[in-house]
Amino acid sequence: MNPEVELSPLNDNEPAVTPMSHDSAPSTPLYRLLMTGGGLAAVIGCIVMLGWLLAMPSLTSLGQGLIPMAPSTAVLFIAYGGALLLSRRATDSHGVLLYIRSVLVCGSLISVVLFVLSLRGVFLPAEHLGFKVMGAVEGSPIGHMSPITAFTFLLISLSFRNIITARPSAAWRGITAWWLAILVIAAYVMLMLAYLFGTPMFYGGTFIPPAATTSLAFLALGAALLALSQPLAWPETAPSARIVRYSSNILIVVFLLLAAGIISAGYYYHRKHEKHYLSEVERQLSTIADLKMGELLLWREERLADAGLFHNNLAFASLVKSFIKHPESKQARLEIDAWGNALKSKSNYNRIFLLDALGMNRWSHPEAASEPLSRHVRQKALESLQTGRITVADFYRNEISGKIYLSILTPILDPEHANEPLGVLVMRIDPEKYLYPFIQRWPVSSATAETLLVRREGATALFLNELRFKKNSALNLCVPLEKTEVPAVMAAMGREGVVRGIDYRGHPVLAALRKIPDSPWKLVTRIDIEEVYAPLRERLWITVLLACAMLLSAGTGIGFVWRQQSSQFYREKYQAELKRVELEERLTRVAGNLPGVIFQLQLRPDGVFRMPYVSSGLEALYGVLPEDAVRETSRMFAVIHPDDLDRVTAAILESARTLSAWHNEHRVMHPERGPIWVEGNATPELKPDGSVLLHGFLAEITERKQKEREIEKKNSELERFTYTVSHDLKSPLVTIKTFMGYLEEDIRLADEARIKQDLGFMHNAADKMSQLLDELLELSRVGRLSNPPEEIAFRDLAREAVSLDAGRISERGVAVEIADSGVVLCGDRSRLVEIWQNLVENACKFMGDQQNPRIEIGVDGCGPESLFFVRDNGIGIDPRFHSKVFGLFEKLEAGGDGTGLGLALVKRIVELYDGTIRVESAGTGKGATIFFTLPSAIKK
């Protein structure tokens, strides 16, 4: 036995290997590391929980502005730390082992759920464990487990599970546990270094980063698992093994430190470059926003300046007054046209209107245009006349053409008559020609950048210009103000500056927000985060490749040193292997004289079976000569029962693949004794040539299997009866008890109607219980109580069963056809009739809405292999439930009547006559056919 391990019966198949050697004794470094790591993780979890309880953030994180450990994470650290502290007692206490397994199962389930939900952006309030947790750190909500943390708990669980389930035949579990612990330590060394450098990883990203306290606790857990798995992964088998293992550990630590330094340096460089780059992008975005805002301000000032030329202009007011009084005057029209041409020549207006004091259009330029003036503008014109000020009719849609315009409205007042309103000059602007183009221009090449103009419209943010990725969006697309993550909504609410959010397409964007002074307009310049980070990803790949190259170089150098140091160790292992082979050959010769069948079965890399050795007992057990089996292994497999051959072969292949112990029970067709049961056990061994050699034994267990079948049958009956008592009988009792309480209250209130109703429910429950007890009694009598056997023709049996179901058949209008057959059965008449009676009743019950219900009763063949069938065209049975329909208390309709015992009773009677039963149905709505055999009831 390996001096580094102690055997512990954790299951019935093979003893587990638990690190209970001198390396884990209380005085050894490994034991101290195990206790320190597990205790530190549990203490950190307790301190964090105390911090949440006392509302002291300093106890939940290692610094201000750092994300704290979630309460759910702290609880898991306490549980896992406690499990590691108790791990040495797992071999002595079943309760401790149960606690450890419960922690691993529950911790894994919680981690999987939180990992998936966190990646989807779903955060459960239950993670707060009742504490009042609010706020966020750089956009990450606090009080919730990071997906990285959840994934690490899964690795911890896998490592711990491999440790407690390690077997001599599965040494890979200990090695896997050791490497998983190394992986956790390496990962969280990097995370802790990042915290120490002041550049914590994953902050400001798309998911919650691990807290500094979490990283420290995982380092402690990883160290404890490393100490616990060390004796399992690298057991000492020679005096030089300790030296080799010690030097290997030193080299691994050196490599991990180098790797941590290289990765940390690369990460620090990338984060610094990322911050500088993002700052530059934000500055560029802000500059473009300021430039666009300046252009818009200048454009508005120019338009208002144009309007100012006509406001309080005595000459123009006199001309308008003359034109309105004498519209037939050619001179006045010519002068008005001259003013209009001069204004139109500035190329910012697509049409100019002159309205009178009543809002009626008296003149327009150009006159050829047929599009009328919008009612919105007329209303604004009247408001402008009332206030006497220049008014801007902001973006609006013409009711006739559907086009979008802006208009500058200048009131024309009569200075000679106390500023009496004369009319309004309307300068209409087509933004598609004069405004949108310079808004949409972007000064540099970009695949996703664009400028948005929005205004607040009630409870929405309304887009005023055409969008790059959504056609016909101007004055059509609006976003509710509740969607505060949308930059357009932020701008409409008055926010300014550079922000991150989700745009109208649902894409993450970086945006600069500006207010346009003296206007309802808000400016948004935005670019997709994907485009912003594209250059960063390229730089990241370069950094990763350089880091990988450096890691590869470091690993190659350290690997060369390790190889030189390990050569002596492997030479000793080779000599030990030669001695082991010699001992194996000696034991093989001894085993040839032992009773039973001892064998060696080899599975070569090409998939071919070969039997190097088999003892002489094979002839008595299999009826095959040992030399024949060695020469032609297929001779041994040929006598295995055909129904078991594939299973036996698959089990051998699986054992060879996983190098796990092979245990199998199968039937052998002995040439003289007929079918017998054989039990096989073997241990696989991986050979240097890639083949797997199984060492094992075979023994006959025919008598034991017979006894097991009897016990299994009795246990099955007991389980079904127990289920009935605990479930189906309990339900009516609960109903009676419940309505007894209602009945007391109703009697007190003298409510006769409710009293009758309560009694009705209680009667129904009692009837249901009585029916169930009657059917259970009937089921228990099958095979126990029977009438004297008598001969009866198949047709007579079927007719008698149909007559017993005549009421239900008549009620449903079912046509029953009984095939003519000369088959005669011999057995308990009442039991045989029950088969067809229950099947016909079941077919009628599930006929559904079939317009022409039909049931066929017949038999195929003759003699013991006669196949009886009952076929209907009812609702059918979903293929998924074919295997369940004959189970005890199985009902396809949970709310349907019946107890679920009818088909179970049929199956019990069929099996009483050594028969089989099955159902066939193409699916729901396609009818069903029940096939069964009654070999022992067929008259010879």
Last residue of a domain, one of 533, 562, 584: 533
Are both 713 and 745 inside the same structural domain?
Answer: yes
- Asked whether residue 360 is assigned to any structural domain, the reply reads yes
Question: Is the confidence at residue 361, as pLDDT, over 60?
Answer: yes
Angle at 464 between CA 458 and CA 467, to 5 degrees: 125
What CATH number should be reported for the domain holding residue 321? 3.30.450.20
Read off the DSSP letter of residue 435.
T
What CATH number should be reported for the domain holding residue 493? 3.30.450
Are both 860 and 716 inside the same structural domain?
Answer: no
- Lowest mean per-residue pLDDT among 383-397, 551-565, 610-624, 850-864: 551-565
Q: Is the dihedral of CA 682, 683, 688, 690 positive or negative?
A: positive
- Asked whether residue 332 is assigned to any structural domain, the reply reads yes
Q: How far apart, in Å, are the Cα atoms of 347 and each of 292, 336, 342, 441, 906? A: 20, 18, 10, 19, 95
Tokens of 176: 């896997």
Are both 421 and 440 inside the same structural domain?
Answer: no
Are both 603 and 720 inside the same structural domain?
Answer: no
Identify the pLDDT of residue 892: 56
- Asked whether residue 379 is assigned to any structural domain, the reply reads yes
Are both 929 and 825 inside the same structural domain?
Answer: yes
Question: Is the confidence at residue 672, as pLDDT, over 80?
Answer: yes
Q: What is the pLDDT of residues 97-148, one digit of tens each?
A: 888 889 999 999 999 999 998 888 888 888 888 888 877 887 788 888 999 9
- Per-residue pLDDT, averaged over 487-504, amounts to 92
Per the listing, tokens 């706020």 go with 135
Last residue of a domain, one of 509, 533, 557: 533
Nearest CA to 410 out of 320, 312, 318 is that of 312
Nearest CA to 11 out of 707, 660, 714, 700 is that of 660
Domain boundaries, position 471 = 435-533
Question: In whole angstroms, how large is the CA radius of gyration of the chain?
Answer: 44
Tokens of 661: 């112990």
Q: What is the pLDDT of residues 191-240, one digit of tens each?
A: 887 777 666 778 777 788 899 899 999 989 998 888 888 777 766 555 55
What CATH number should be reported for the domain holding residue 765? 1.10.287.130
- Per-residue pLDDT, averaged over 392-421, amounts to 87
- Asked whether residue 538 is assigned to any structural domain, the reply reads no
Full-model pTM: 0.42
Residue 502's CB is within 10 A of a number of other CB atoms, namely: 15
Are both 99 and 158 inside the same structural domain?
Answer: yes
Tokens of 466: 């055409």
- Per-residue pLDDT, averaged over 403-410, amounts to 92
Domain count, the chain: 6
- Per-residue pLDDT, averaged over 706-730, amounts to 71
Question: Is the confidence at residue 613, as pLDDT, over 50?
Answer: yes
- Asked whether residue 557 is assigned to any structural domain, the reply reads no
- Asked whether residue 301 is assigned to any structural domain, the reply reads no
Question: Is the confidence at residue 858, as pLDDT, over 60?
Answer: yes
- Per-residue pLDDT, averaged over 822-826, amounts to 88
Nearest CA to 938 out of 830, 865, 829 is that of 865
Q: What is the pLDDT of residues 750-775, one digit of tens each?
A: 888 888 887 887 887 676 677 667 66
Identify the pLDDT of residue 548: 80
Average predicted confidence (pLDDT) for the chain: 82
- Asked whether residue 73 is assigned to any structural domain, the reply reads yes
Tokens of 137: 């750190």
Are both 506 and 625 inside the same structural domain?
Answer: no
Identify the pLDDT of residue 4: 35
Are both 52 and 69 inside the same structural domain?
Answer: yes
The residue among 672 and 198 whose pLDDT is bigger is 672
Nearest CA to 173 out of 373, 376, 5 is that of 5
Q: What is the pLDDT of residues 784-801, one digit of tens each?
A: 445 778 888 889 989 988
Nearest CA to 658 out of 229, 226, 176, 3 is that of 176
Are both 424 and 440 inside the same structural domain?
Answer: no
Q: Kindly report the three-state secondary structure assignment for every residue of 699-743.
A: EECHHHHHHHHHHHHHHHHHHHHHHHHHHHCHHHHHHHHHHHHHH
- Per-residue pLDDT, averaged over 318-332, amounts to 84
Question: Is the confidence at residue 76, as pLDDT, over 90?
Answer: yes
Identify the pLDDT of residue 6: 36
Are both 66 and 212 inside the same structural domain?
Answer: yes
Q: What is the pLDDT of residues 461-492, one digit of tens each?
A: 999 998 988 888 889 999 999 999 999 999 99
Question: Is the confidence at residue 921, as pLDDT, over 60?
Answer: yes
Are both 89 and 209 inside the same structural domain?
Answer: yes
Q: How far apart, in whole angstroms, are the C-alpha atoms of residue 927 and residue 876?
A: 4
Are both 688 and 726 inside the same structural domain?
Answer: no
Identify the pLDDT of residue 12: 40
- Per-residue pLDDT, averaged over 78-94, amounts to 82
pLDDT band at 882 (very low <50, low <70, confident <90, very high): confident
Question: Is the confidence at residue 727, as pLDDT, over 60?
Answer: no
Last residue of a domain, one of 235, 254, 278: 235
Q: Which range is most confident: 624-633, 775-784, 882-891?
A: 624-633
Q: How far apart, in whole angstroms, are the C-alpha atoms of residue 6 and residue 91?
A: 9
- Asked whether residue 837 is assigned to any structural domain, the reply reads yes
Q: How far apart, in whole angstroms, are the C-alpha atoms of residue 772 and residue 900?
A: 9
Nearest CA to 766 out of 726, 741, 725, 732 is that of 732
Chain centroid, CA 215 distance in Å: 25
